[in-house]
Chain A
Amino acid sequence: MRQIYRRSTGMGSPGAQKIMGAITTGMGVLGSLNGGTMGIFVVVGILTIVIGFWSEKNPVIVLHEDHLEMKLAPATARHLIRYRDVAEIDNRGPNKIFLVVHGKKIRLPVKVLEPSDLQLVLAAVRDSQPSQPAADQARGEQE
């Protein structure tokens, strides 16, 4: 099992989320002290800080022996993908890479991963794909 975390630099990094959260909270507190109704800023800021800590603690992708699991944020769905179910890796550009699973396209979070980690994920999926003759043979045996 290998855990892959968010990249540590850039706007989507946990550090940046915490800084943005702190700034938003500060704005909310200052605004409220000056008689404004900026409580919403405090709530949003605190939630952003919490999400920053969550991102730091939880991996974006976990590579298991036969499948990978992917969860980008606390409120988003967890994707569980068996390597053998990946029909195709659809590479549509540097930031748009999809895994085609049962006809459904699942986008890989390219922007939040280090390039080396992305290669690791792609290698894990590719390496567990049956070679074309082996896949044809398996299909033939099933029929």
Chain B
Amino acid sequence: MNGLIIASVIINGLLVLLLGTTGEYPAGLSIAMGVSVLVSLGGALLIAAGARRPGAILVMIGCALFVPIGLIGVIGGRRVLDELKQEAFDAGR
């Protein structure tokens, strides 16, 4: 797993905590963002467990709601998918 994914999950988690504690935003938004963080966290755990493709896709989906700052996680997930593509390409030679 790359550092971008870890950084993104931490940043997104902190954002949810920040939004949740201010009370200025509707509860639905905080819940949706919280679920997104859980999805990306689940993806990160899947990558760590070896299921890199589904994990990377989950990370990208979970971070999409946080764009532009979520772009960090999207780039991290894309990097994992690119690595898998490169491995499959090299194996097919």
Q: Which residues on A are within 8 Å of B, measured CB to CB? A: 40, 43-44, 47, 67, 71, 74-78, 80
Q: Could you tell me if B82 and A77 are in contact, using CB atoms closer than 8 angstroms? A: yes
Complex contacts, B86 vs chain A, CB 8 Å: 78, 80
A31 to B: closest C-beta gap in Å: 16
Complex contacts, A40 vs chain B, CB 8 Å: 68
Q: Pick the contact of B82 from A43, A47, A67, A78 — CB < 8 Å?
A: A78
The chain A residue sitting closest to B82, CB to CB, is A78
Q: Could you tell me if B89 and A80 are in contact, using CB atoms closer than 8 angstroms? A: yes
Number of interface residues of B (CB under 8 A): 11
A67 vs B88: C-alpha distance in the bound complex, in angstroms?
Answer: 14
| B58-93 near A? 1/0 per residue, CB < 8 Å | 000000000011010011001001100110010000
A71 to B: closest C-beta gap in Å: 8
Q: Could you tell me if A75 and B89 are in contact, using CB atoms closer than 8 angstroms? A: no
The chain A residue sitting closest to B83, CB to CB, is A78
Q: A80-B86, A80-B89 are in contact. Are A75 and B81 (CB under 8 A)?
A: no
A76 vs B39: C-alpha distance in the bound complex, in angstroms?
Answer: 21
Chain B CB count within 10 A is highest, among A44, A75, A78, for A75
A134 vs B78: C-alpha distance in the bound complex, in angstroms?
Answer: 39
